[in-house]
Amino acid sequence: MTKPMQFTGRLWRIEDSSGRLIDDIDTDMIFHNAHLHITELSRMGAHAFGNLDGYQDFPSHVTAGDIVLVGRNFGCGSSRQQAVDCFAALGVSLLIAESFGAIYKRNAINSGFPILTFKPGTRFPAHLSEVSVDLEKGELIGDDYPVALESFSAVQRDIYLAGGLLKTVPGA
């Protein structure tokens, strides 16, 4: 199965009441430790952002193909894979952040879930605008203007196209 390198979907701006993208969203806010007993991917999505004030109802409003935009240091904290998998379970296409927590970044890349970063001060389209993202070019198009993103590295691309790090290893 060929994996897409371009996505079109609604842009979910995860922001505070002033319209600023939220920084330092930790893995407990993304997927609370009370739900770590859940091992079936299909059941994880219902708990995405369940511990993030103002976004507890996110799973009931997001649709497959949507794109999530957050501030810096997204996924800081513990190494729980469910914090990546809950977005995959909902059908979220990709995550875009100013930066990712180191362990979260590795978990996402290793599982073949697409993530991209942007430079501080980058302007983005409005909440729930329809946008298109090209992983190889590192570009988001929305509201008639392009937004520069960091493109996939060669390693990230290869792992993503393989469907995860373990699928790049013969016999795995």
pLDDT band, very low/low/confident/very high, at 145 (cuts 50, 70, 90): confident
Tell if the pTM clears 0.75, that is, is over it: yes
- Across the range 9-32, mean pLDDT stands at 97
Percentage of the chain exceeding pLDDT 90: 90
pLDDT band, very low/low/confident/very high, at 172 (cuts 50, 70, 90): low
**How far apart are alpha carbons 6 and 93 in whole angstroms?**
10
- Could you tell me how far CA 86 lies from the centroid of its own chain? 10
**How far apart are alpha carbons 126 and 132 in whole angstroms?**
13
Domains of the chain: 6-168 (3.20.19.10)
- Assign residue 35 a region (left: φ > 0; alpha: ψ between -120 and 50; beta: otherwise): alpha
* Closest of 119, 121, 112 to residue 81, by C-alpha: 112
What token pair was written down for 136?
């190889």
- Across the range 28-33, mean pLDDT stands at 96
The residue that leads in pLDDT, 78 or 169, is: 78
Angle (CA) 26 167 158, round 5°: 75
